[in-house]
Amino acid sequence: MKIITVCTMGIGTSILLKMNVEKVLDQLGLSGSVEASDLGSARGASQSADLIMTNAEMARALSDVAVPVAVVHNFMDTEEIARALREAARQ
């Protein structure tokens, strides 16, 4: 599974989310690669991704991409991240 974490600039919260997604993937025993991205780059990268994870504001901006977009409200909440990953893995 290829996952893209997105924030406006791609250097702050997307990296924090990336680290926590990687931690949760490991805890769940799921394999995947995670890439932190800015909003503009995420559009192009979405063509080869299985899932985008971001906040509600960025999700609205990415509503036109062809890949599922999971909204994470608290990037530090590994339980919330795990729920989003489990849902994505079922699709």
Residues 27, 74: contact at Cβ < 8 Å?
Answer: no
What is the distance between the alpha carbons of residues 32 and 44, in angstroms, rounded to a whole number?
A: 19
What is the distance between the alpha carbons of residues 30 and 12, in angstroms, rounded to a whole number?
A: 25
Q: Which residues contact 84 (CB under 8 A, 6 or more apart)?
A: 53, 70, 71, 72
- Is 7 among the residues known to form the active site? yes
Residues 55, 73: contact at Cβ < 8 Å?
Answer: yes
Active-site residue identified among 3, 4, 7, 52: 7
Name the residues annotated as catalytic.
Answer: 7
